[in-house]
Amino acid sequence: MNYYYITGTSRGIGKAFAEHLLTNPSNYVFGICRNKTIEHPNYTHYHLDLTDVNAIKDFRFDPHSHPKKIYLINNAGAIGFIKPIGKLDADIIIKNYTLNLIAPSVLTNAFIEFYNTTDCEKVIVNIGSGAGKNPVDGWAVYCSSKAGLDMFSRVVDAEQKIRAEHPQESIHKDFKIFSISPGVVNTAMQSEIRSAEKADFSRLEDFISYKVNNQLSEPSIVSDKYLKLLNNLTTIKGVLSSIKDYE
């Protein structure tokens, strides 16, 4: 059996991931988020507020008998209020860093700790963003948290490679990690972006045009592209990449 832990399965890419995986009876999905929107015999939902640090700390992964694959897909994320620094509420800044960076970091740490002696394919997939590589006005917290997630992924990858060279020093090895950006996707986040004030976001018209000109990919199509990559890990171009790199 293949086991997939996915954050943010209530909608968007996370829900599409789960629904796609559940078409295969050999897959079992654990959804991690506040709202349950999926009913399936091979689906278990963990009601977890990923902006609550104490709740994240208390989350525990499950033991699995003779798994073939165990994946953690850190998909949940939010852009937050689109405003320049100096106009944001402090609580919003803290909440969005927690969701976008602290939650995936804590879950990845727990995932590696819990499954370090489990003999199977073990993969962490962080849903990255081009915003983590290019500054966008009004998105300071989102850009910096995604940049942090990219660097976090690179460090974990480096640690795994070091441990692979010195197996006697640690059993925390044999994990693969990737941060893969999806491009612009037709999700609730895009609706939030289009609702921003022009005075707070210079690129508002660009994002409105993505919708008007049908340039947004559907979550089901994007999730299918991700899963094709994950079914053939050797095709993935390094720790950091974008879905566009494979088109």
Active site residues: 142
C-beta atoms surrounding 147 within 10 Å? 18
Burial grade of 135 (CB within 10 A; 0-12, 13-18, 19 or more) = exposed
Contact 75, 50 (CB under 8 A): no
Q: For the chain, how big is the Rg over CA atoms in Å?
A: 18
DSSP 185: B
Question: To 10 degrees, the CA torsion angle through 100, 150, 210, 202?
Answer: 80
Contact 33, 8 (CB under 8 A): yes
SS3 content of the chain, % helix, strand, coil (to 5): 45, 15, 35
Element (H, E) at 108: helix 103-115
